[in-house]
A and B are shown apart, each in its own frame.
Chain A
Amino acid sequence: MTTASPPPAVPGISPLPAARVRKRSWSGWLFIGPFMAVFAIVFIAPIAYSIWLSFFRNQLVGGNSFVGLANYAQALQDSQFWSSLFRVTLFLAVQVPVMLLIALLAALALDSGRLYGKSFFRISIFLPYAVPAVVASLMWGFMYGTRFGLVGNINDALGINLPNPLSPDLILASIGNIVTWEFIGYNMLIFYSALSVIPKSIYEAAEIDGASQLRLVTAIKVPAIRGALVVATIFSVIGSFQLFNEPSILQSLAPNSISTYFTPNLYAYSLSFSGQQYNYSATVAIIMGVITMVIAYAVQLRGMRKES
Chain B
Amino acid sequence: MKNTISLAVLRGSAIALTAALALTACGGGAGDNAGAANEEVSAEDVQAALEEGGDITIWSWEPTLDEVVESFEAEHPNVNVNLVNAGTGNDHYVALQNAVAAGSGVPDVVQLEYFSLPQFALAESVRDLSAYGAGDLQDTYNPGPWNSVQANGGIYGLPMDSGPMALYYNKEIFDKYGVEVPATWDEYVEAARALHEADPSVYIANDTGDAGLATSLIWQAGGQPYKVDGTDVTVNFTDEGSTKFAETWQQLLDEDLLAPITSWGDEWYQGLGNGTIATLATGAWMPATFSSGVAATAGKWRVAPLPQWQEGEPTSAENGGSALSITSASEKGALAYAFLEYANVGDGVQIRVDNGAFPATAATLESEDFLSDEFEYFGGQKANEVFAESAKSVPEGWSYLPFQAYANGIYNDTAGQAYVSDTTLKDGLEGWQEASIKYGSEQGFTVSK
Hey, which bits of chain A sit against chain B, CB under 8 A?
59-62, 142, 145, 147-148, 167-168, 252-253, 255-257, 259-261, 270, 273-277
Contacts and interface: CB of A to CB of B under 8 A. Distances in A.
Contacts of A270: 409
B413 interface: yes
A274 B406 contact: yes
Contact of A275 (B209, B265, B406, B416): B406
Contact of A256 (B259, B412, B442): B412
Contact of B267 (A61, A148, A257, A275): A148
B413 A61 contact: no
A257 B420 contact: yes
B140 interface: no
Contacts of B419: 256
B402 interface: yes
Contacts of A142: 266
8 contacts: A60-B119, A60-B443, A61-B122, A167-B420, A273-B94, A275-B406, A275-B409, A277-B442
A168 B261 CA distance: 15
Contact of A261 (B208, B271, B403, B413): B413
Contact of A252 (B265, B421, B439): B265
Contact of B413 (A62, A260, A276): A260
Contact of A60 (B94, B403, B409): B403
Residue of B90, B261, B265, B442 most packed against chain A (CB within 10 A): B442
Contacts of B174: none
A296 to B, nearest CB: 30
User: Interface residues of A: mostly helix, strand, loop or mixed?
Assistant: loop
A86 B444 CA distance: 30
A168 B209 contact: no
Given A59-B442, A60-B444, A277-B442, A260 B262 contact: no
Interface in B328-378: none
A255 B416 contact: yes
B417 interface: yes
B445 interface: yes
Nearest to B261: A147
Given A260-B409, A270-B409, A274-B406, A62 B417 contact: no
Given A60-B123, A60-B403, A274-B405, A253 B443 contact: no
Given A60-B123, A142-B266, A276-B97, 9 more contacts: A61-B444, A145-B267, A252-B262, A253-B262, A255-B412, A259-B412, A260-B410, A261-B413, A276-B406
A99 to B, nearest CB: 28
Contacts of A256: 208-209, 412, 416-417, 419-420
A303 B403 CA distance: 49
A62 to B, nearest CB: 4
A92 B439 CA distance: 31
Contacts of A145: 267
B256 to A, nearest CB: 12
A60 B122 CA distance: 8
A136 B416 CA distance: 26
B231 interface: yes
A252 B409 CA distance: 12
A298 B442 CA distance: 36
A140 B8 CA distance: 65
B270 interface: yes
Nearest to B419: A256
Contacts of B265: 252-253
A253 B265 CA distance: 8
A276 B442 CA distance: 11
Interface in B26-76: none
Contacts of B420: 167-168, 256-257
B41 to A, nearest CB: 28
Contacts of B445: 60-61
Interface string B371-410: 0000000000000000000000000000000110110011
Nearest to A167: B420
Nearest to A149: B267
Nearest to A80: B413
A273 B87 CA distance: 14
Interface string B246-277: 00000000000001111001110011000010
Nearest to A171: B420
Contacts of A260: 409-410, 412-413
Nearest to A65: B444
Closest 7 CB pairs between A and B?
A: A61-B444, A59-B444, A62-B444, A256-B416, A255-B412, A60-B443, A274-B409
B379 to A, nearest CB: 27
